[in-house]
Amino acid sequence: MKPTPSPLLQRILTSLLLALLLTSTVSCSKSDYSWLPFGLSGQPSLEERYEALQARVETTEARAEKASDQAAIWQVVAALFIVLAGFALIYGAALGSQARRFQANSHPENLDATTHEIVR
């Protein structure tokens, strides 16, 4: 009878072989070699990073200026609607007052003598 290794030993050996296989293939697909400590790095130089950052700052400033312009437009639109709503309230109150006076003048028998309000 041939001795067989224990199942625990087989599992450990299989796990180690799988771990070795996975660690050896991890860096195969990377093209920038960022895992290397010296040289051969595909990372951009300091000047390239600075230029990229400067470009991002400029685009962010342009977006902020555009957003500021749009906010100013919407503030003007909101102010216009507020003024229009105020005029509508004033005109509605004047129209109601004029209608009350017209009804009081056309039907004086419905007018209360003490409060001068219409009684129905």
What is the pLDDT, as a whole number, of residue 80? Answer: 97
Return the CA Rg of the chain: 42
Backbone conformation region of residue 33, classed left if phi is above 0, alpha if psi is from -120 to 50, else beta: left
What is the pLDDT, as a whole number, of residue 99? Answer: 86
For every one of its 120 residues, what pLDDT tens digit does the chain have, with 9 covering 90 and above? 566 668 888 889 999 999 988 887 765 555 555 555 555 555 667 888 899 999 999 999 999 999 998 999 999 999 999 999 999 999 999 999 888 888 777 766 666 656 656 665
Tell me the CB-side half-sphere exposure of residue 27, using CA atoms within 13 A. 8
What is the pLDDT, as a whole number, of residue 42? Answer: 58
What is the pLDDT, as a whole number, of residue 27? Answer: 58
Element (H, E) at 23: helix 7-25
Distances (CA, A) of 13 to 2, 4, 8, 16, 41: 19, 14, 9, 5, 35
Q: Is the torsion defined by CA of 98, 99, 100, 104 positive or negative?
A: positive
